[in-house]
Amino acid sequence: MTEAPTATGTREDGSPERLAIDTIRTLSMDAVQKANSGHPGTPMALAPVAHTLWRDYLRYDPETPDWPNRDRFVLSVGHASMLLYSLLHLAGVREIDADGKPTGAEAVSLDDIKQFRQMSSKTPGHPEYRMTTGVETTTGPLGQGCGNSVGMAIAERALAAKYNRDGFDLFDHDVYVLCGDGDMMEGVSGEAASTAGHLKLSNLCWIYDSNQISIEGSTSLAFDEDVGKRFEAYGWNVLHVDDANDTAAFARALDTFKATKDRPTFIVVKSVIGWGSPKAGSEKAHGEALGEDNVRATKKAYGWPEDAQFLVPEGVKEAFGGAIAARGKPAREAWEALFARYGEAYPEEAAQLQDLRRGKIKDGWQDAIPSFPEDAKGLASRDSGGKVLNALAPVIPALMGGAADLSPSTKTDIKGKPSFEPDNYAGQNMHFGVREHAMGSIANGMALSYLRSYTATFLVFADYMRAPIRLAAIMELPVVFVFTHDSIGVGEDGPTHQPIEHLATLRAIPGLDTIRPGDANEVAMAWKVALEHTHEPTALILSRQAIPTLDREKYASAEGLEKGAYILADAVGGEPDVILIGTGSELPMVADAHEKLTAQGIKSRVVSMPSWYLFEKQDRAYREQVLPPSVTARLAVEQGGSMGWDRYVTSDGATITMSTFGASAPLSKLQEKYGFTVDNVVKVARELIEKSKK
Amino acid sequence: MTEAPTATGTREDGSPERLAIDTIRTLSMDAVQKANSGHPGTPMALAPVAHTLWRDYLRYDPETPDWPNRDRFVLSVGHASMLLYSLLHLAGVREIDADGKPTGAEAVSLDDIKQFRQMSSKTPGHPEYRMTTGVETTTGPLGQGCGNSVGMAIAERALAAKYNRDGFDLFDHDVYVLCGDGDMMEGVSGEAASTAGHLKLSNLCWIYDSNQISIEGSTSLAFDEDVGKRFEAYGWNVLHVDDANDTAAFARALDTFKATKDRPTFIVVKSVIGWGSPKAGSEKAHGEALGEDNVRATKKAYGWPEDAQFLVPEGVKEAFGGAIAARGKPAREAWEALFARYGEAYPEEAAQLQDLRRGKIKDGWQDAIPSFPEDAKGLASRDSGGKVLNALAPVIPALMGGAADLSPSTKTDIKGKPSFEPDNYAGQNMHFGVREHAMGSIANGMALSYLRSYTATFLVFADYMRAPIRLAAIMELPVVFVFTHDSIGVGEDGPTHQPIEHLATLRAIPGLDTIRPGDANEVAMAWKVALEHTHEPTALILSRQAIPTLDREKYASAEGLEKGAYILADAVGGEPDVILIGTGSELPMVADAHEKLTAQGIKSRVVSMPSWYLFEKQDRAYREQVLPPSVTARLAVEQGGSMGWDRYVTSDGATITMSTFGASAPLSKLQEKYGFTVDNVVKVARELIEKSKK
């Protein structure tokens, strides 16, 4: 198979197309070989496909790679990162800094490629958003790029519906994905594809690299379904290209995609992994350097100078980058001119779009945050969460999200607004279906395309969507992941639905702000913080059951939430004997225990601690003001597992937490069983004080 | 729709079939109404289907519900638990205790049904394995029952291939699943279905309740794909039943399933949620009590006494349970007789099967555990893990598992053994494909059918399979989840592939033993512990990179691992000044630091702490022997996040851990960057000692 004739001709033909394709291939091989680490086979196989897509179809201006209406290219096969780095290099993409300013450097220089997989290089093992200009999303964990792409396509349709006007087609770009067998085996891609089919996202094109090889060997070992037929069942337009080297056939498929206006397109491309190398068609071409001898043999097969390394023949960059720029630059310039005229005709909308691009919300939005009066009966924090969301939605045009078929329970619908559906892309409420994993991945894609996306499901189902939550944190995307039904407060549904370990597992993710507000006013502050974040995702943890709204005349202001933890109520007359720490639905219980202790003449402090993440960001003075080192009798009360609380209660403290799974019963019975009662808080607090005085 | 004529006739017909079906419906309605919590609509819709399946097809002996060759019934729609409890009650299933002995009680009595969703009842909100006899698996989190069922079907095929002999068809049972739209939307069911189609599991039948209603409203809001066509693409036999009440049509579909020998069967049954009630066909019939008035109205529509509650008309139990027993009891008795003859012909195999049933491994297996000589170069713990697994496989016939397309990396193949493939069900190595989520769920199903299942992938991808890991812990299944590439030791693949928070997130799951062994001999002990567990799953955490094999003459025996933590090396001459705690690949680093400190005249102790779970099970005396309260200068070193370590290092201690995501670079560079060097361990240890002396 190594020297099969192809429609693209051979190197000896002097075809500039083949020259560029082989440049991508050899750069990928050389970089992996130099690093002695990486994945050469897929870039070698897909170079013709990627080359055709970029040179002849992708609407992209290498000089302005952050132009909003550019087509998006998602490399869901993130391990094939050298394919993307080669493309960015050959296309002459220019680097943009974090403020959106050109640095004057190449996005990926040849030197960068030589630093593949080295510390602090712009060419890490898998493509990383924010690290390398032109990387539209961080990929590697399989299926995630597919999910992200659906979010990007949704965002394009939503922005078009919201902002396009007659004569002003500001948004009409497409989203292309390169994906592979691994992506197709992962359930998340199926969930995402089903969603895209339902939504008839005709701006979405997945190019499926069907190389029939997986790491353990032939895909026939585990995967022999008819993927194309499956996508037809999802409602996609399915096309086939029998040879990845047949660029003419692939171009025809792309033409069909461009002409298809009623559904997404799925192009099945048969390819040979490691094409042209002695390891071609074998799993051995996947995840390791080919070896020097094989690199030479492959170059020979390509008609390439065998000793040349990192060779970019003269004219290749010019031809490839030139073709892209010749299409993309005028398009971008025309768009800028259009946008300038739009700004005159629709100044408010234009200003909103400028804000979106900068990840900014128009000043004054915080004024819309509601406050809640004292209410002993109170309301579930999912309910107050819904109220806050609904109060904010009118002033934050970019806010868009929904639930995994649980909005009546999570209370995350924006009331009175239509649903985002194929017949109404102006709808604001997403129906993600019972697809938590894709929901997270789609929300990330929406955030990558300017939207302030949010998701919602029960906290226990955070388990289904950990991968995208983690990726939101890695990418520093300010997605808001709403999780309701946050404890044994779920009650009768029992252990499968009662989160125990989930607070800890979210708090453990670097860069994720996990906030568990303790009453309606803390919920309001939590939404404020979440939307002020520009580089952190938030996990917003809300209760199923009612929580009293605290009297903020009597207690400290809920604004303390912004510091992660604050003194809600303090002992009168000197240092407290004990510090009671509460979060979420347990905060009022702790406050009541404090009242009882006070009545018993015991000095206690109540610390509300909705966010460990924010608290850790405070300076030491503040942290020690809230939790003075001298007071080691500390009791944390939380209807979840104890993992991590030792940090705050110290070795002399204690927790009232869950050490087992829960049970199916009404909440009040569960609280008795597990010790979540005011009396038990008082009892344990007194024991701690006694112990600390010994 | 409430009184549409049906093929089953009406109550007034005096049809015993309809009488039993309406008994199931009304018991479900009444139990939910009494609890004022639960899901009435699906039991009401699916009662005819479940009735037909149980009465006329399921091979099941109500007197001996643990008979190994019984058909399995999986309620993947776990929220419809009252359907299952009603079936178990009406079938007259007898309770079996944890030792497999009959208790004389009913598995589910009418009183139990009246205690639906109450504390400690046998009728919790969702069906729970081990809590209620006849519940084959814990369900509720959607898609999991589907995944489990594939594992059960695999186990049946594997046991048949291994133990059946000419004239001795010991295993030939089927696995039936009731699943719904939510199951179908979840990616895990797609992964599982693709696997089952590939494996041609003709013993598997999924009955898909297509009621076109989801919690947010019509499924058309989010889910309008052609599910049947999708299953055809997976290689399933797809059948359609247009009305759940048409039991004759459903019976014909089951006949077709029984006659289909080359692939699994998928029966799409159209149903009306809450059939017969004023809320029929609406999402309002899904997840809450119907309300007393509606209950009465529904009973009236059924021709049922409106005031009767928990009514089981005379003869219903006898007819339903009698029909099941008439088929199942002789079959079970014949099987017992067959097995007795088998025991004479194949005593070794019969003894193995007896062990399997009891979850026992034949005495003496531990003798096969290898030990490893000192080796400064050492080997990766994934490699030693592979060696231990291969040493144990020949003596543990029930051991069966594989990887999510990563076995060359996870080293989890049993060498020289064939793969479990459609043309060879005697194969022992599973190829799960890039489907981590289904892999976990399938492994649970295998464990539920007597196998000692194991899975393997990279630790970072534990995120894709959290739900089944949690369910293994809830169900107390001794599955071994192998996770390799367990830290920044992954190196060049970068942050998307470097686990940071994952150790904490696994340790946070109640009942899961997370073991991170520190050298080859600890790996051997870890496998021993994992296989000795009968009620705990194990997460076995292994390195990508080489770890020196410690000299166990010089250091304490690796048998200490069985206690979770142990003193590997101690200070000479009195209490240590500092305790160094290490796990996994950092253990040798910590041991080296100890040597350096000793050379510097500093008294240090090295504690190897591979399993927090096991350590917490030790008595206080042991725990304080290993970590004396008097020594608070403690330093934990682990190439993961710090979450949870405060518990062991105390407020005066410190950790060398990861506080951010990692980076793409060779490991040695990463270790320098993040402080994982012997010199840094020494430095921080000395600082701690100084601090503690102040």
Residues forming a β-bridge with A217: A214
Smallest CA–CA distance, residue B371 to chain A, in Å, is 29
Q: Which of A129, A209, A505 would best serve as a mutation to test chain B binding (most B beta carbons within 10 A)?
A: A505
Q: Residue B494: pLDDT above 90? A: yes
Separation CA A383–CA B244 (nearest Å): 37
Query: If DSSP codes are grouped into helix, strand and coil, which group holds residue A455?
Result: strand
The one-letter amino acid code at B405 reads: D
Confidence (pLDDT) at A13: 57
Spatial CA neighbour of A254 closest among A32, A436, A58? A58
Contact A664 B470 (CB under 8 A): no
The one-letter amino acid code at B25 reads: R
Longest dimension (CA), chain A: 94
Separation CA A495–CA A460 (nearest Å): 10
Q: What is the pLDDT of residues B441-453, one digit of tens each?
A: 999 999 999 999 9
- Catalytic residues of A, which ones? 436
Residue A545 per-residue DSSP state: S
Confidence (pLDDT) at B693: 84
Contact A431 B221 (CB under 8 A): yes
Q: Residue B294: pLDDT above 60? A: yes
Q: Output the six-digit token pair for B252.
A: 């014909």
Q: Residue B11: pLDDT above 70? A: no
Spatial CA neighbour of B44 closest among B350, B284, B321, B338? B284
Spatial CA neighbour of B651 closest among A652, A104, A216, A511? A652
**Which residues, 6 or more positions from B651, have their beta carbon under 8 angstroms from its beta carbon?**
A632, A650, A651, B632
Query: If DSSP codes are grouped into helix, strand and coil, which group holds residue B322?
Result: helix
Are A40 and A290 within 8 A, CB to CB?
yes
- H/E segment holding residue B74: strand B72-75
Q: Which of A195, A273, A405, A674 would best serve as a mutation to test chain B binding (most B beta carbons within 10 A)?
A: A405
Residues forming a β-bridge with A655: A636
Residue B354 per-residue DSSP state: H
Rounded to 5 degrees, what angle do the CA atoms A448, A454, A455 make? 115
Tell me the domains of chain A and their CATH numbers.
13-332 (3.40.50.970), 365-548 (3.40.50.970), 561-693 (3.40.50.920)
Rounded to 5 degrees, what angle do the CA atoms A176, A182, A186 make? 90
Q: Does B651 touch chain A (CB under 8 A)?
A: yes
Q: Within the 11-70 window of chain A, which residues sit less than 8 Å (CB to CB) from chain B?
A: 35, 37-38
Q: Residue B353: pLDDT above 90? A: yes
Spatial CA neighbour of B540 closest among B501, B582, B491, B506? B506
Are A530 and A513 within 8 A, CB to CB?
yes
Contacting residues of B for A496, CB less than 8 Å apart? 78, 126, 128, 138-141, 471, 474
Separation CA B439–CA B437 (nearest Å): 5
Q: What is the CA radius of gyration of chain B?
A: 28
Are B86 and B113 within 8 A, CB to CB?
yes
Q: Does A422 touch chain B (CB under 8 A)?
A: no
**CA dihedral defined by A377, A382, A385, A389, rounded to 10 degrees?**
-130
Distance separating the N- and C-terminal Cα atoms of chain A: 81
Spatial CA neighbour of B248 closest among B49, B521, B103? B49
Which residue in this structure is represented by tokens 């050379």? Answer: B599
- List, as residue ranges, the binding site of A: 39, 79, 140-142, 181-182, 211, 213, 286, 382, 409, 461, 485, 493, 497, 544
Separation CA A387–CA A392 (nearest Å): 9
The whole-number average pLDDT for the span B495-515 is 98
Contact B644 A643 (CB under 8 A): yes
- H/E segment holding residue A637: strand A634-641
What are the phi and psi torsion angles at A361 (to 5°)? -110, 140
Confidence (pLDDT) at B538: 98
Strand (E) positions, A409-545? 429-431, 452-458, 480-484, 513-515, 538-541
Which ranges of A9-95 would DSSP assign to H, the alpha helix? Answer: 16-35, 41-56, 81-91
Separation CA A670–CA A491 (nearest Å): 7
Number of H helices, E strands in chain B: 24, 22
Q: HSE of B495 in the Cβ direction (CA atoms, 13 Å)?
A: 26
What are the phi and psi torsion angles at B677 (to 5°)? -135, 155
Longest dimension (CA), chain B: 94
Confidence (pLDDT) at B4: 38
Separation CA B389–CA A285 (nearest Å): 28
Separation CA A390–CA A416 (nearest Å): 10
Query: If DSSP codes are grouped into helix, strand and coil, which group holds residue A85?
Result: helix
Separation CA B509–CA B469 (nearest Å): 9
Confidence (pLDDT) at A7: 35
Q: Output the six-digit token pair for A423.
A: 């017949």
- The DSSP secondary structure of A139-163, one letter per residue, reads --STTHHHHHHHHHHHHHHHHHHHH
Residue A121 per-residue DSSP state: -
**Which residues, 6 or more positions from B175, have their beta carbon under 8 angstroms from its beta carbon?**
B71, B72, B74, B149, B152, B153, B156, B203, B204, B205
Are B269 and B241 within 8 A, CB to CB?
yes
Are B485 and B667 within 8 A, CB to CB?
no
Separation CA A371–CA B586 (nearest Å): 50
Instruction: Give the Å distances, CA to CA, from B72 to A105, A259, B175, B256.
Output: 64, 50, 5, 18
The whole-number average pLDDT for the span B461-469 is 98
Contacting residues of B for A666, CB less than 8 Å apart? 37, 117-119
Separation CA A490–CA B36 (nearest Å): 14
pLDDT band at B13 (very low <50, low <70, confident <90, very high): low
Separation CA B21–CA B28 (nearest Å): 11
- The DSSP secondary structure of B649-668, one letter per residue, reads H-TT-EEEEESS---SS-HH
Share of chain B above pLDDT 90, in %: 97
Give the rounded distance of the alpha carbon of B486 from its chain centre.
Answer: 22
pTM of the model: 0.97
Spatial CA neighbour of A522 closest among A570, A560, A563, A485? A560
The pairing of strands A566-569 and A578-582 is unpaired
Residues forming a β-bridge with A636: A581, A655
Report how many Cβ contacts below 8 Å link chain A to chain B: 346
Confidence (pLDDT) at B1: 32
State the average pLDDT for chain B. 96
Spatial CA neighbour of A140 closest among A154, A121, A152, A124? A124
pLDDT band at B8 (very low <50, low <70, confident <90, very high): very low
**Which residues, 6 or more positions from B25, have their beta carbon under 8 angstroms from its beta carbon?**
B43, B44, B47, B275, B276, B298, B302
Q: Which residue from A214, A491, A647 is facing B405, i.e. has the nearest CB?
A: A214
Contact A434 B664 (CB under 8 A): no
The one-letter amino acid code at B263 reads: R
Mean pLDDT per 10-residue interval, chain A, length 694 residues:
38 76 98 97 97 98 97 98 98 96 97 97 98 98 98 98 98 98 98 98 98 92 96 98 97 98 98 96 94 97 95 96 98 98 98 95 96 97 98 96 97 96 97 98 98 98 98 98 98 98 98 98 98 98 98 97 98 94 98 98 98 98 97 97 97 96 97 98 97 85
Smallest CA–CA distance, residue A600 to chain B, in Å, is 30
pLDDT band at B9 (very low <50, low <70, confident <90, very high): very low
Q: Output the six-digit token pair for B169.
A: 């068809």
Contacting residues of A for B235, CB less than 8 Å apart? 224-226
Q: Output the six-digit token pair for A315.
A: 């004219």
Contact B406 A233 (CB under 8 A): no
Which residue in this structure is represented by tokens 């539920």? Answer: B448
The pairing of strands A634-641 and A604-608 is unpaired
